[in-house]
Amino acid sequence: MMFEDVMKQIIASRGHTQKSLALEVGVKPPSLANVLRKNNPTINGLSKYLKVLGYDIALIPTGAKLTDDSYIITQK
């Protein structure tokens, strides 16, 4: 899945909107919208959003088995 699609799915599944997530992290909602649209978050920025949503960033070997609630983000 593409980054924007993954993030939108996680945000919705955790009961947030983009606006509520942005405000909880302490950024303006347009900032989060830009990050999602441009598909270019920093690791630090992405980590802040994911922490609020109950996710971590992990590096795993290619082809490793993931749990059902895990996501792989692909490039365009």
pLDDT at 75 over 90: no
pTM of the predicted model as reported, rounded to 2 decimal places: 0.83
Q: Residues 63, 53: contact at Cβ < 8 Å? A: no
Higher pLDDT, 67 or 18: 18
Tell me the per-residue pLDDT of 28-41, one tens digit each, with 9 for 90 and over. Answer: 999 999 999 988 88
The architecture in CATH of the region 1-76 reads Orthogonal Bundle (1.10)
Percent of the chain as helix, strand, coil, to the nearest 5: 55, 5, 45
Q: Is 11 exposed, middle or buried (0-12, 13-18, 19+ CB in 10 A)?
A: buried
